[in-house]
Structure 1
Amino acid sequence: MRVKIELGYDGTRFHGWATQPGMATVQGTVEDCLATILRVRSHDRAAGCGLADGRGHADGHGPDPEPMGRLVVAGRTDAGVHASHQICHVDVDPELLDGVVGHMGVGWSQALAHRMNHILPPDIRIINVSQAPKGFDARFSALDRLYVYRLADGSGVVDPRLRGFVASCGHTLDVDVMNDVASLMIGLHDFGSFAIPSPHGTTIRNVIEAAWHRCDTGDGCLRGVAGDLMEFTIRADAFAHNMVRSLVGASIIVGSGKRDVAWFSSKLDVPRREGFTGPAEARGLTLERVRYPDDAFLGSRAESVKALRTLDGE
């Protein structure tokens, strides 16, 4: 059975989403939690013994069925990047889910969410668990992802409790010229100057919206103290590795007057990373939404995207 999991996390202490040997990651932590609840060997602990990829041979006559697959995620966030509403799926033997309920008197999905939140550290929270609709793929069925980058510039003072979620810049930035930069991002482009491609991957992406704005402390953004925040909202079909933070970094360079809009345009026209200062700091970035089509189109969406792209989102 395919299980859809909605979750949020504070990415501060994690080395990104994707499992890495010997490092704390969101994927590894959630998979270990599921393995504990379902009473199966986790993939990290199974490495090297034939269980992680379903090729174990208990009786020597063929592959054992894998009781729990790997988590597949909508957007693979980098180290230090947060998510307020991430989406992933995992394939699980239905018999294991029947055993989750115990004496709780609720359905398996509610019981699983409750047990996961009981075991997981407080910087990862499960929002909802459900049976995935037919054809659903957390990564390939997605229509688009929306990220928000939050930044305090100039002399703005931010509540120190928010230091892990708001980046800072000593310069006072020109939001109008930064929006000139953002407008150039919209559309289908090769973002090779602002992203790291994976092997056999592509840095061509379709940006649907991109804009900077200032929001005061009562305007719905994270509440600061004695100063406004800047927010950069960007939505695209998908994002290449480091793409959002690199676009933010370039916007800050232009907004501070160190470069002009023509410089950014030239980087967009000629997709090469040479001469670029790199991505903005991770703490300001949050994945806030992943959008999917109606259930009837989930499968066809996944198949069409698989045919076009093999690069994971940021």
Structure 2
Amino acid sequence: MSDEAAPGFTRVRLDLAYDGREFSGWAKQKGGRRTVQGELEDALRVVMRLGEAPELTVAGRTDAGVHARGQVAHVDLPDEVWAEHGPHLLRRLAGRLPMDVRVFRVAVAPPHFNARFSAIWRRYAYRVTDHPGGADPLQRGHVLWHNWPLDLDAMNEAARGLLGEHDFAAYCKRREGATTIRTLQELSWTRRPDGVLEATVRADAFCHNMVRSLVGAMLFVGDGHRPPEWPAKVLAAGVRDSAVHVVRPHGLTLEEVGYPADDALAARNLASRSRRSLPGDPPGGCC
């Protein structure tokens, strides 16, 4: 995956949002399942009159049912195609795309920009209500109902024990050849005026099911089934605990992706691709 568009091509950054309820995740899949990538690539093909759909690279490959408010992708377009269609692309995509996915910004990317490898953090939010009557019907597609009262202070105490660089194998679904070492930069809970509890989760990157597993563990603390120190003990053990539930996807939203200054993009791409290990670990893994 190159960090520069090939000669004769222009790299374009797209900022987008989507409601994930009717999508089988971001990535294209066999069997005709509806995905965000598939809808967007097909729309680009149609509005720019291309013979085949261009391929998108995305900052975070969200799972089925997960939403995004601040997703970022890039695409390399022939120079002549960008020159002809670029000024009108945003409005034409609005007319072509289904209403549950929107592109809000289209711009030429700076040199060395890569939507995936240039990112220095991704910020997610997970929203839960513990109201005994259930979730607000107008928010039901974005807020999980937890049928137990939740202790905000206990959940924040549990969250503090998970911060920093760790091997999050206990909270990730392993993938062959991929490391589970991540740096969790922020994890905190607030209760909004409407009573909804909102977790802010920010890390340099996330492994599969990591956010939903972390939330599941903290909900178990919040409702009193486990003490605040339990999630950190699970993390230190390094293996999946059957008591850690992967919560449903509809409460999760990718809110924002952070990038360094333009002159630091090349260095960031190199660092993102380097092998990660913890002190004392043998070499291995991948980005």
**CA displacement, residues 102-142 of structure 1 (integer Å, 9 cap, x when unaligned):** xxxxxx2x411111111000000111000000010001111
Map 1:37-186 to 2 at 5 A: 37-42=47-52, 68=54, 70-100=55-85, 108=86, 110-155=87-132, 158-186=135-163
Deviating beyond 6 angstroms after TM superposition, the runs of 4 or more aligned structure 1 residues are 309-312
Aligned residue for 2:282? none
Aligned residue for 1:3? 12
Aligned residue for 1:30? 40
C-alpha displacement of 1:37:
1.8
Name the CA distance, whole Å, in 1 between partners of 2:168 and 2:15: 29
C-alpha displacement of 1:265:
2.0
Count of aligned positions:
269
Aligned residue for 2:200? 233
TM-score calculated relative to the size of structure 2: 0.89
Contact 1:246 1:279 in 2 (8 A): yes
Contact 2:130 2:150 in 1 (8 A): yes
Give the letter aligned to residue 109 of structure 2. A
Question: Is 1:207 aligned with 2:184?
Answer: yes
TM-score calculated relative to the size of structure 1: 0.82
Name the CA distance, whole Å, in 2 between partners of 1:240 and 1:165: 22
Contact 2:123 2:254 in 1 (8 A): yes
Name the CA distance, whole Å, in 1 between partners of 2:90 and 2:275: 34
Question: Is 1:260 aligned with 2:227?
Answer: yes
Name the CA distance, whole Å, in 1 between partners of 2:286 and 2:256: 19
Match of 2:264 among 297, 307, 311: 297
C-alpha displacement of 1:308:
3.2
C-alpha displacement of 1:277:
4.0
Q: Which runs of 5+ in 2 are unaligned?
A: 1-9, 277-284
Name the larger-Rg structure.
1
3-state SS of the aligned residue for 1:99? helix
C-alpha RMSD over aligned residues: 1.6
1:288 and 1:3, CA in 2 relative to 1: closer, same or farther beyond 3 A?
same
1:311 and 1:213, CA in 2 relative to 1: closer, same or farther beyond 3 A?
farther
Contact 2:134 2:145 in 1 (8 A): no
Question: Is 1:306 aligned with 2:273?
Answer: yes
Name the CA distance, whole Å, in 2 between partners of 1:253 and 1:42: 48
- Same amino acid, percent of matched pairs: 43
